[in-house]
Amino acid sequence: MIVVLFLVALLALFFGTIFPLLAVSLDKRIVRTISLSAIIVASILLGSVSLILLYYGEPVFFTLYKPLPAISLSFTIDRLASFFLFIISVVSACVAIYFTEYVEHLTGSTRRNLVCGCTNLFILAMALVVTSANTLTFFLFWELMAASSFLLVTYEYTHDETRKAGIFYFVMTQLSSLFVLLGIIVLYVVSGSFALSPLPDASTPLVTVAFLALFIGFSIKAGVIPFHKWLPYAHPASPSPVSALMSGVMLKCSVYGLLRFLLDVFTPDLWWGVLILAAGTASALLGIIYALKEHDVKGMLAYSSIENIGIIFTGIGLAVIFTASHLPLLATLSLLGALFHSANHAMFKSLLFLTAGSVVSATHTRNIEQMGGLAHRMPVTSALFFVGAVSIAALPPLNGFASEIMIFTAFFSSVAVVDPLFKVLLFICLALFALTSALSAACFVKAFGSIFLALPRSPGSAAAKEVPRAMLIGPGILAAVCILLGVFALQIFAFVGFAVPLPDMLLVSLLLLGMIGLTYGVLYFTASRTVRVSETWGCGTLSQQALAEYSGHGFSEPLDVIFSAIYRTRITNKRTFFDQKNCIFKEGTGEIRLLKVFEEYLYRPVAQQSMRVAKSVSRFQNGCLDTYLLYVFVTVIALIVFLGGFA
């Protein structure tokens, strides 16, 4: 039954992929709507499959194709897989609803059919990645996911920056695949099979190599610092629904991969946990610090994804540390925190990317300094973005807080870890974690304030109109999910059978509502009800000017100065004067430049070295037929000698 439902969902996605390819020359809205409807149908099916399995917890296993005894294309859906399947289905459904309208605003006539098909393929690949039963199947669909997402990123390939972003993304994602493949091969060498089953012996050097390779592979795909650089390039370049899918769901597939290997294959050492925790904390903190500085709305959201992946990795790292210290209860708590944050981040980040897409398509700019005043012009979009901002800033009673408090509680309980040095390490990570979450509140005050509040700062922003209904329904569902996951967090965990030490957010929300009602009631009967709308006092200026407002740059200036060591800002100021005493100013240029630390010190040297190696290798590739014949001859001789030696 479950298998049938699952296969029907896959068929729907497959149909959604093929159909626009068949009708590729037909530039009709109906073609795209049918293709995207396939996603919605498939999502509903996948969602129900995952909910049934989450509740009953009985894994389902089936094989699709088995060419050799050792190699098979088989799938298993257990609770972990169905949890990620649930994330995929909710986000995909909402993105598809949004996309039906958004795709019509894109340029590129019949290319739009292809983007719909490709989105189907992308979702199909992700659903199969999280349900793969062996490493080979996993890698196959991991590559399919990478390839289809590359096609989606380069949709607007006519722009130079998109092409650059696409290549950057492609190189990084292939690097990730390379490391994952290396890990899988090493695992095969160790265990002799492609199965996702526990290794016989715990920690040999080979197992450590396999873990490191897989960790690096998944980190690159998840955007963990220092492998993060593709996110702030790829997200602004790709269409908003694609960003929502990539940030909301694809990053979670690498979280899934890491968790699957950690839980099912390895028996983690303590230092693996420390490594994951350190990578997580660094990504969380640096991610949000860079997000504060970013004024491209989608770039800002991309950096914020890096931060949230850091939070998830922090939870996973804690879980590994607690498991290795034999504290199963705390390990479960932090693991659940990491999983719950994955779901929450998927919901609010897709919500934010979709609403940001609406804003960008209404104002025709991605620069938040050119927005402003949209709360009056796009009331529903602004309310939806607001829900996302409150969630991501981890404020109660919404879902971002519900998962962060689990990780906080795990940190607070880390007293139980025996080694005093580890305690101190954990407390320092706790302090940085708290800093991260406070900075993300500052970041989203800035984002919401600059985009939606005060006066419009450009003609585009002043002329913005609310988007069509389909572009509100998709994010609307996500906003509702954000609220529900937060308010009913305790009840949801009780329902699936986990007793977590969470405060009852339902009670807190009721108390909040009660207090709002009480305050309103008391004021209604005691206070004056006169309300007047009048111009703000502006120190004697006649009317308020948009350019005199506090800008996004100004807002983050104090934090820029405080964290200037991290930003590595270079301020240059060249001036010429008419007189010798430098009194009468003639002309000058000023520049504030951010050093791209990771690009200049890590990516560029690596790229240059690989170019150098490639250049020396390319000498063998001289295009002359005789040389190639020589190669063939030498290879044959070498083979004969080699085989002869062994036989």
Site residues for other proteins, 560-599, by CB under 8 A, read 561-562
Cβ(45)–Cβ(102) below 8 Å:
no
Number of residues that bind other proteins (CB under 8 A): 82
251: contact with other proteins by CB under 8 A? no
Pick from 342, 378, 340, 338: nearest CA to 357: 378
Q: Determine the Cα–Cα distance for residues 46 and 57; give it in Å rounded to an integer.
A: 15
Residue 57 or 521 having the CB closest to other proteins: 521
Residues 409-428, interacting with other proteins (CB under 8 A): 409, 411-412, 415, 420, 423-424, 427-428
Min dist CB 571 to other proteins, Å, is: 16
| 314: its two tokens | 């922090």
H-helix or E-strand spanning residue 144 = helix 135-153
CA dihedral (635, 641, 646, 647) positive or negative: positive
Residue 151 or 288 having the CB closest to other proteins: 288
Q: Determine the Cα–Cα distance for residues 72 and 291; give it in Å rounded to an integer.
A: 43
Q: Determine the Cα–Cα distance for residues 594 and 574; give it in Å rounded to an integer.
A: 17
45: contact with other proteins by CB under 8 A? no
Min dist CB 468 to other proteins, Å, is: 22
Min dist CB 292 to other proteins, Å, is: 9
Q: Which of 158, 204, 544, 627 binds other proteins (CB under 8 A)?
A: 544
Q: Determine the Cα–Cα distance for residues 470 and 475; give it in Å rounded to an integer.
A: 9
H-helix or E-strand spanning residue 572 = strand 569-577
Pairing relationship of beta strands 569-577 and 585-594 according to DSSP bridges: antiparallel
Which part of the chain contacts other proteins (CB under 8 A), choosing from 7-15, 111-119, 273-281, 437-445? 437-445
Q: Determine the Cα–Cα distance for residues 203 and 543; give it in Å rounded to an integer.
A: 71
Residues 352-381, interacting with other proteins (CB under 8 A): 372-373, 375-376
Query: SS3 of 111, please?
Result: helix
542: contact with other proteins by CB under 8 A? no
Q: Which of 537, 571, 574, 626 binds other proteins (CB under 8 A)?
A: 537
282: contact with other proteins by CB under 8 A? no
Q: Determine the Cα–Cα distance for residues 296 and 294; give it in Å rounded to an integer.
A: 6
Min dist CB 401 to other proteins, Å, is: 6
Min dist CB 291 to other proteins, Å, is: 13
Q: Which of 41, 167, 455, 566 binds other proteins (CB under 8 A)?
A: 455
Residue 22 or 518 having the CB closest to other proteins: 518
Q: Which of 538, 575, 577, 612 binds other proteins (CB under 8 A)?
A: 538
548: contact with other proteins by CB under 8 A? yes
329: contact with other proteins by CB under 8 A? no
Residues 289-328, interacting with other proteins (CB under 8 A): none
Instruction: For the beta carbon of residue 137, count every other beta carbon within 10 angstroms.
Output: 24
Residues 473-512, interacting with other proteins (CB under 8 A): 490, 501-504, 507-508, 511-512
In Å, how far from its chain's centre is CA 582?
A: 52
In Å, how far from its chain's centre is CA 527?
A: 47
Query: SS3 of 64, please?
Result: strand
431: contact with other proteins by CB under 8 A? yes
Min dist CB 389 to other proteins, Å, is: 9
437: contact with other proteins by CB under 8 A? yes
Residue 110 or 509 having the CB closest to other proteins: 509
Q: What are phi and psi of 551, to 5 degrees?
A: -90, 170
Q: Determine the Cα–Cα distance for residues 219 and 115; give it in Å rounded to an integer.
A: 27
Within 8 A by CB and 6+ apart from 462, the residues are: 373, 377, 456
Min dist CB 416 to other proteins, Å, is: 10
Residue 92 or 391 having the CB closest to other proteins: 391
| 350: its two tokens | 């897709």
Pick from 149, 120, 403, 399: nearest CA to 254: 149
Cβ(288)–Cβ(304) below 8 Å:
yes
Residue 275 or 394 having the CB closest to other proteins: 394
| 27: its two tokens | 């530039």
Query: SS3 of 587, please?
Result: strand
Min dist CB 276 to other proteins, Å, is: 21
Q: Which of 129, 286, 439, 479 binds other proteins (CB under 8 A)?
A: 439
Reading phi first (left if > 0) and then psi (alpha if -120 to 50, else beta), residue 364 is in left
Min dist CB 541 to other proteins, Å, is: 10
605: contact with other proteins by CB under 8 A? no
Q: Which of 57, 200, 558, 605 binds other proteins (CB under 8 A)?
A: 558
- DSSP tag of 464: -
Which part of the chain contacts other proteins (CB under 8 A), choosing from 3-11, 35-43, 445-453, 467-475? 445-453
Residue 268 or 372 having the CB closest to other proteins: 372
14: contact with other proteins by CB under 8 A? no
Residue 418 or 583 having the CB closest to other proteins: 418
Residues 49-108, interacting with other proteins (CB under 8 A): none
Cβ(322)–Cβ(410) below 8 Å:
yes
- DSSP tag of 368: G
557: contact with other proteins by CB under 8 A? yes
453: contact with other proteins by CB under 8 A? yes
Q: Which of 325, 446, 477, 603 binds other proteins (CB under 8 A)?
A: 446
527: contact with other proteins by CB under 8 A? yes
Residue 217 or 317 having the CB closest to other proteins: 317
Residue 58 or 419 having the CB closest to other proteins: 419
Reading phi first (left if > 0) and then psi (alpha if -120 to 50, else beta), residue 139 is in alpha
Which part of the chain contacts other proteins (CB under 8 A), choosing from 28-36, 239-247, 316-324, 528-536? 528-536
Which part of the chain contacts other proteins (CB under 8 A), choosing from 4-12, 141-149, 429-437, 567-575? 429-437
Q: Determine the Cα–Cα distance for residues 305 and 255; give it in Å rounded to an integer.
A: 13
Residue 144 or 559 having the CB closest to other proteins: 559
In Å, how far from its chain's centre is CA 504?
A: 28
Cβ(350)–Cβ(474) below 8 Å:
no
Q: Determine the Cα–Cα distance for residues 167 and 415; give it in Å rounded to an integer.
A: 47
200: contact with other proteins by CB under 8 A? no
Q: What are phi and psi of 226, to 5 degrees?
A: -95, 20
Residue 562 or 638 having the CB closest to other proteins: 562
Residue 196 or 368 having the CB closest to other proteins: 368
382: contact with other proteins by CB under 8 A? yes
| 639: its two tokens | 């083979």
